[in-house]
Structure 1
Amino acid sequence: MNESIINVNSVLALGFALAAIIIILKSARIVPQRSNFVIERLGKYNRTLDSGFHFLIPFIDKVAYQHTLKEEVIDVERQACVTRDNIQVGINGVLYIQVVDAHKASYGINDYRYAASQLAQTTMRSVIGQTDLDKTFEERAQINEVVVQALDEAAAPWGIKVLRYEISDIELPMSIKDALEQQMRAERERRAAIAKSEGERQAMINVSEGHKQEVINLSEAEKQKQINEAEGRAQEIELIATATAEGLRKIAAAIQEPGGQDAVSLRVAEQYVKEFGNLAKETNTLILPAQLADIGGAVAGLTEIIKKK
């Protein structure tokens, strides 16, 4: 009898212990960092738990939704879009969103990830439909910005924030690819021709500049040559004049010395006879002085002139 009572008490104690453990597990909640738990009490929204340790009323409160506040990446599937110039392209992208209100994310929409992805596709089709094919490649950043703005406005009631949208790939039909390749090839050839012509033009300019500089250098050299020759002639004339003046001064000084007058008379007579003889050699006509015999008188007259000078 006593053993049966002990066994029953043991079972009851074990049951109470298990119940206590279950109650503790049901009442205690640890919310991780950058997460929110949405609590419902008897099926109705009660509160939102932030990160940390929290107690709940067992069997009355329950965690209805768990949301991460980290940035989420959603792959937007490829879709067919028609540009404004009626070219069909396949576009897929990547969407970055973040939960900012756990209550709205829980009760504002059933699946905000799927809704954001579908909204991104429809918005992209609308934006591409208003853009030419060439602008689709050139203005990716602007297209992404327009999509983000439209998604952010639409997703505000869902408690999420659309951070950015990126076009990851644009697939073109083969015919358009061929046309674009031909266009790019023609553009490259045009640039190559322009670069070649610019190079030839620059080469001609360089050659002409070289000729111009050569002519300038030659003219400068000729100018310097003429200046140097003129300066040389001037120095030559100056030296000759200086030497002549010095010689005349010495002659004048020699004349004043004793016997100088006789030497001058003799020198004048010699020059007179010499020049007269040269005159007779150069022409058939002989001119004789009026007083040929009076050479001494002529010499005396020249000597007198030299004295006066």
Structure 2
Amino acid sequence: MSAEELLSEFLGQNVFYLVLAIFIIVCIMAGVRIVPQSEKYVVERLGRLRSVLGPGINFIVPFLDRVRHKVSVLERQLPAMTQDAITSDNVLVQVETSVFYRIIEPEKTVYRIRDVDAAISTTVAGIVRSEIGRMELDQVQANRANLIDAVRNQVAQQVDDWGIEVTRAEILDVNLDAATRSAMLQQLNAERARRAQVTEAEGSKRAVELQADADLYAAKQEAEARRVLADAEAYATQVVAVAIAENGLEAAQYQVALKQVEALQKLGAGAGNQTVVLPANALDAFADAFQMLKGRG
């Protein structure tokens, strides 16, 4: 065998091994899939669902299995949506909503629904209209938390077949048309005016009640003072009566004489009085009082 033949045979064997090595490397690369933590891979075999690959290193059959869909499992937020709704008392409102969800079963999401965001938006709009149609406007404004819970629960039930979990559903705002807003503002102003009038009337009523209580208290105090004074006068009269009963008429005359003397003293003690006018029997009164005092002494 010539040198050329040996060289040709050697090169042929090396090419075969080289091609075999390349083929093995390609098979390994095609059969190994490293899935990120935030994703799941949907694998098909000859056009049919084969498996769902989770995060980490996964192995598939090269050339038979194919990663058809790479689905993110991160939580998603739909853009804020605004839809019209009519309450049970025929008021048109515009409701702004927002929904958060995440895909938990990618095989359902990719094979059962084409546009998941649009489908959720349509579902939320229908549920919001249905729920608000059962409520009056005041209930919509006051029971927003209950409305949010109802929307979230119903949306979760509707999208369960799509492999989706609704994490949050929020009602961002409830807007009214201009005519309804103007009517509500007028009603609010009227209610405020009514409350102000009621408050003023209650204040006036309270002031009258307090004044009446004050007058009643003053009258009671005056009556009590008169009663005490009357009791004192009655007691004095009783003392005089007892003295008269015990000492006879002389004690009464003695008291009268003392009062006359005291009256004359006060008359004479006045400022600027140079002349004192005495009754005709004044001296007799002094004499009688002196005699009585002398007799008692």
| TM-score of the pair, normalised by structure 1 | 0.59
Please identify the structure whose Cα radius of gyration is greater.
Answer: 1
| 1:95 paired to 2:99 | yes
Question: Match of 1:139?
Answer: 143
Please state how far the C-alpha of 1:120 moved relative to its aligned partner. 0.7
What is the rounded CA distance, in whole Å, between the counterparts of 2:92 and 2:149 in structure 1? 22
Please state how far the C-alpha of 1:206 moved relative to its aligned partner. 4.5
Q: Which of 109, 115, 133 is the equivalent residue of 1:111? A: 115
Question: Match of 1:67?
Answer: 71
Q: Residue 75 of structure 1 aligns to a residue in which SS?
A: coil
Question: Match of 1:122?
Answer: 126
What is the rounded CA distance, in whole Å, between the counterparts of 2:102 and 2:214 in structure 1? 68
Contact 1:37-1:65 at 8 Å conserved across structures? yes
Percent identity, aligned pairs only?
28
1:256-271 pair list within 5 angstroms: none
Please state how far the C-alpha of 1:170 moved relative to its aligned partner. 2.3
Please state how far the C-alpha of 1:49 moved relative to its aligned partner. 2.0
Please state how far the C-alpha of 1:31 moved relative to its aligned partner. 2.5
What is the rounded CA distance, in whole Å, between the counterparts of 1:23 and 1:207 in structure 2? 103
Q: How many residues align?
A: 234
Question: Match of 1:169?
Answer: 173
Q: Which amino acid aligns with 2:40?
A: N
Q: Indicate how the Cα distance of structure 1 residues 23 and 84 shifts in structure 2: closer, same or farther if over 3 A, else same.
A: same
Question: Match of 2:261?
Answer: none
Q: Indicate how the Cα distance of structure 1 residues 24 and 190 shifts in structure 2: closer, same or farther if over 3 A, else same.
A: farther
Q: Which amino acid aligns with 2:164?
A: I
Q: Which of 146, 152, 168 is the equivalent residue of 1:148? A: 152
Q: Residue 135 of structure 1 aligns to a residue in which SS?
A: helix
Please state how far the C-alpha of 1:175 moved relative to its aligned partner. 1.1
Q: Indicate how the Cα distance of structure 1 residues 196 and 59 shifts in structure 2: closer, same or farther if over 3 A, else same.
A: farther
Q: Which amino acid aligns with 1:184?
A: L
Please state how far the C-alpha of 1:93 moved relative to its aligned partner. 0.5
Structure 1 vs Structure 2 CA RMSD: 4.2
What is the rounded CA distance, in whole Å, between the counterparts of 1:18 and 1:197 in structure 2? 98
Question: Match of 2:182?
Answer: 178
| TM-score of the pair, normalised by structure 2 | 0.61
Please state how far the C-alpha of 1:154 moved relative to its aligned partner. 1.6
Q: Indicate how the Cα distance of structure 1 residues 165 and 201 shifts in structure 2: closer, same or farther if over 3 A, else same.
A: farther
Per-residue Cα deviation, 1:159-193 (whole angstroms, up to 9, x for no partner): 11233322212232211111111111112222222
- Structure 2 gap segments, 5+ residues each: 237-283, 289-297
Q: Residue 84 of structure 1 aligns to a residue in which SS?
A: coil
What is the rounded CA distance, in whole Å, between the counterparts of 2:109 and 2:220 in structure 1? 84
Q: Residue 159 of structure 2 aligns to a residue in which SS?
A: helix
1:293-308 pair list within 5 angstroms: none
What is the rounded CA distance, in whole Å, between the counterparts of 2:37 and 2:200 in structure 1? 63
Q: Indicate how the Cα distance of structure 1 residues 186 and 16 shifts in structure 2: closer, same or farther if over 3 A, else same.
A: farther
Q: Indicate how the Cα distance of structure 1 residues 72 and 213 shifts in structure 2: closer, same or farther if over 3 A, else same.
A: farther
Q: Indicate how the Cα distance of structure 1 residues 32 and 199 shifts in structure 2: closer, same or farther if over 3 A, else same.
A: farther
Per-residue Cα deviation, 1:261-305 (whole angstroms, up to 9, x for no partner): xxxxxxxxxxxxxxxxx9xx98xxxxxxxxxxxxxxxxxxxxxxx
Q: Indicate how the Cα distance of structure 1 residues 210 and 64 shifts in structure 2: closer, same or farther if over 3 A, else same.
A: farther
Q: Indicate how the Cα distance of structure 1 residues 31 and 182 shifts in structure 2: closer, same or farther if over 3 A, else same.
A: same
Please state how far the C-alpha of 1:216 moved relative to its aligned partner. 6.7
Question: Match of 2:277?
Answer: none
What is the rounded CA distance, in whole Å, between the counterparts of 2:144 and 2:109 in structure 1? 30
- Structure 1 gap segments, 5+ residues each: 234-277, 283-309
Q: Which amino acid aligns with 2:50?
A: N
Please state how far the C-alpha of 1:140 moved relative to its aligned partner. 2.0
What is the rounded CA distance, in whole Å, between the counterparts of 2:23 and 2:207 in structure 1? 96
Q: Which amino acid aligns with 2:191?
A: E
Q: Which amino acid aligns with 1:54?
A: N
